[in-house]
Amino acid sequence: MLLSYIVRRVLWTIPFLFAVSVVVFALIQAPPGDYLTTFVAKLAESDESIDQATIEVLRERYGLNEPFLVQYWKWISNLVQGDFGQSFEWNQPVWELIASRIPLTITLMLSTFVFAWGVALPIGIYSAVRKYSIGDYFFTTIGFIGLAMPNFLLALVMLYIGVKVWGVHMGGLFSDEFEGAPWSVAKVIDMYSHMWIGIIVLGTAILASLIRIMRANLLDELSKPYVTTARAKGMSEWRLILKYPVRIALNPFISIIGLYFPALISGAVVTAVVLGYPTLGPLMLQSLLAQDMYLAGGILMILCGLTVFGMLISDILLAILDPRVRYE
């Protein structure tokens, strides 16, 4: 039952990713001009020029003057075979550029995820069980400050505090001595000693809503008759709360993983630019500015793929957690 559910869910991602690819490609093509127009403009800025014939030859070679569908078909048919094309600007295969940055990107996202959910769960439970207590108000206030403050602003504030208080620049992910060094335990520790800022910046943005969701769900469940039943059995209060209402209140908490994944990813782009992280975010911004279409398309596809994957994970978790989902 569970297996067939997972298989069905996985199969559904195929048409979904296909639809995403069409939208991604259309969006990249949407701004006027192409990579060469941007390229010419850039050259003109530095008082260099290139004659029209050369541009036309280049355009011909890159296939930029072909109709949308033909270009899309070329791109997608190669993509299916694992070929993301060539970056105009970097003159390197797109996949190589992306691949070098994927591990750090995923590490940042998963760490943020673990931080946000790990912190929100106990606070949410506490806030619901001790409704309207001082602790409840305290956490709610902190959460809303995090929610109200834009990511990039918080990142800038943290950098400013770093310089003012400790006199160090806290951007980047590695200290100089570890830059380019092979991976080791010491390097991972060094990375996290930098990355925690990014994790907190990204995490606080969703922490407040996660706490509120957990709190509201649990409050609904706490007054349900099955809680009274468990109490009438003679269970201790905390044990029964954790076993029954929390277990059921977890459902929405899990299912919003899929919803917040995209928010996490897009938030990570801006934050990574501000904090100077070598993740996919800054690379994507650059590629979009330069209209480096294969690179931008590749990154967008990877990010969408991660989002779809995140939703898949949350759906499967939900099915494992709640028998009612499995049996539908």
Q: Catalog residues that contact other proteins under the rule CB under 8 A.
A: 8, 11-12, 223-226, 228-237, 243-244, 247-248, 321-324, 327-328
Amino acid at 304: C
Q: How far apart are CA 79 and CA 199, in angstroms?
A: 32
Side-chain half-sphere exposure of 97, counting CA atoms within 13 A: 27
DSSP classification of residue 47: T
CB of 267 to other proteins, least distance (A): 32
Pick the closer one to other proteins by CB: 230 or 295: 230
Of 55 and 222, the one with the shorter C-beta distance to other proteins is 222
CB of 6 to other proteins, least distance (A): 13
Name the residue nearer to other proteins (CB basis): 169 or 243: 243
In angstroms, give the least distance from the CB of 131 to other proteins: 10
Per this entry, what is the length of the chain? Answer: 328
Alpha-carbon distance 159 to 197, whole Å? 9
Phi/psi at 276 (5° precision): 65, 45
**Closer to other proteins by Cβ: residue 185 or 232:** 232
**CB proximity list for 256: less than 8 A, separation 6 or greater:** 210, 213, 314
Give the shortest CB-133-to-other proteins separation in angstroms. 13
Of 87, 71, 76, residue with least CA distance to 35: 87
Q: How far is CA 68 from CA 21, 82, 191, 224, 292, in A?
A: 13, 21, 43, 57, 16
CB of residue 227 to other proteins, shortest distance in Å: 9
The residue (of 58 and 235) whose beta carbon lies closer to other proteins is 235
Q: How far is the CB of 168 from other proteins (least distance, A)?
A: 49
Pick the closer one to other proteins by CB: 120 or 319: 319
Smallest gap from residue 324 Cβ to other proteins (A): 6
- Asked whether 229 and 220 are in contact (CB, 8 A), the reply is no
> Which of residues 254 and 296 has its CB atom nearest to other proteins in the complex?
254
Q: How far is the CB of 67 from other proteins (least distance, A)?
A: 34
Residue 93's SS3 state is strand
The C-alpha angle 141, 192, 172, rounded to 5 degrees, equals 95
| SS3 of residue 309 by DSSP | helix
Q: Quick one: tokens of 93?
A: 């295969």
Nearer to other proteins, 18 or 226 (CB): 226
Work out how close the CB of 23 gets to other proteins at its nearest, in angstroms, rounded to a whole number. 23
Q: Taking the CB of residue 25, how many other CB atoms lie within 10 A of it? A: 22
Q: What's the CA gap between 297 and 278, in Å, rounded?
A: 19
Q: How far is CA 157 from the centre of its chain?
A: 22
Question: Measured from the CB atom, is 138 or 226 closer to other proteins?
Answer: 226
